[in-house]
Structure 1
Amino acid sequence: MHYLIGSKLKVYNQNKLHKRLRRQVGEAIADYNMIEEGDRIMVCLSGGKDSYTLLDILINLKLSAPVNFELIAVNLDQKQPGFPEHILPEYLTKLGIEYKIVEENTYGIVKEKIPEGKTTCSLCSRLRRGILYRTATELGATKIALGHHRDDILETLFLNMFYGGKMKAMPPKLMNDTGEHIIIRPLAYCKEKDIEKYAEIKQFPIIPCNLCGSQPNLQRQVIKEMLKEWDKKFPGRIETMFTATQNIVPSHLCDTKLFDFKAIKKGDNVINGGDIAFDKEEFTAASFDASGIDEQDIILWKEVN
């Protein structure tokens, strides 16, 4: 009896997870108009959990989408030693989806150009990007779908803030650097931990990246660990931070290119609530909980209010 109850609960949770990911992908697509009638979407499939999940959810959404679109999965075989070339063709053939495996020896180029022990990610990504853009043109793709999720977007935001002096992240939709292709990220609203669970449930044939997998001290890894620690200690903080990326107030930052501070004159209308430097910030106790502010901060907040 307990086994049956446990089994049903497991199936219920799995279905719930699938519906959540499906809903979040659908919302992102709608919010940013990612997919339109007649689109041919090139889904970049690396063999990792994120791109497998992206392809799986898009195939599922295609069945009931209000617009007609095509999917073609593309994998770049970078000729890494020991790369299991049979896995993706077998998986994609079983799915019955159109696909293309592009073979380019970027591994050899990276190993030749980058000294042993140095980070290979930058050159590797540039080479990969160029090949995938060329492939999208050859295939007549109208959009290129990447498997970056919500955590990737936040990691990029902090990387740019900490190391680049910019407030910049990964957009859910944007033109690529050559101006030829529209890049979309349908997993933009999805949590990495949900994707990890989903990949385990679906038992995707994960292919590890041996080229950069041995470089644990990358700056992105440091940021990733920081965000994971915050998420563990302060539930809700990550959600609040991501919401902040959707609620930008240029007049209350410092970028003169985004807001014309010089044009402000006495007698002008109040902009975005005006400046409240002499007032106390208005935050509710609930907002502290959502942000992950600890109990002592809430006590202090109550005392000063």
Structure 2
Amino acid sequence: MPSSSYAAPAAAARPTLVQRSFGPAGHLWVHFVLCIYAVIALFPIALILINSVKTRNAIFEGPMALPTAETLTLVGFQKVLSGTHFLLYFGNSLVVTVGALVLIVLFGAMAGWALSEYKFPGNRFLNFFIAIGIMIPIRLGTVSILQLIVALDLINTRTALILVYTAQGLPLAVMILSEFIRQIPTELKDAARCDGVGEIAIFFQVILPLIRPAIATVAVFTMIPAWNDLWFPLILAPGEDTRTVTLGVQQFIGQYATDWNSVLAALSMAVIPILLLYVAFSRQLIRGLTSGAVK
């Protein structure tokens, strides 16, 4: 019998890294720990969704209890959708987050391509400068950013938020994307150049399709802080027409009383885009996080 017939069983019987490290039951233990972590991570979201459809008294009497026929109510969603401009706030958050995300991915990939492909004076300095941008919080420059936005006459505009979030997410995007671009075989780029393909076409037709896992990783890591941010919308765009979701939720929180039905209903609707993003890019995200782990 040919030796190739034994290759598949041998590969299937080969122990995994977990089994070699923890023994035969190692994979069960790892899955158990991951399931516990998943429950802990999803518990706050489930708690918000459950209590968003319960009466105020039921929320305080049994916050972890499921809604019943007596406690089930949609009054919070009715107040949010009919009594406020929540859809406008939702649209503002969507425009700001998607706009910043597109600019971050585009400029981050272009910068990563330039820093990883071309050697020029100042290359190392730019890499070091970008790394500093990851370590220093952008909120430390809030006063200077506010002065610049006022000077540009962009106060109370969504453009101001898009520019700030783009600057906030670019350092991490450049670092992640440049590392992925460095792993692309040089032969692919050289073959495209031999065929007469220009550098711009190589970037859009060869590089971008190959770094989709990295783009998904960058998208998740940059969208969540922008969508959930309260600091810059409160300072740069507090107007009624430019409020984001997180800023709009604050109107239900008072100094002496809080409308928890409306707060939880608004948070439930605000968390939907994040969940949809993860569902859409979960496979690419996992590939991006684990790429290079076995090399």
With normalisation by structure 2, the TM-score equals 0.24
Larger radius of gyration: 2
With normalisation by structure 1, the TM-score equals 0.23
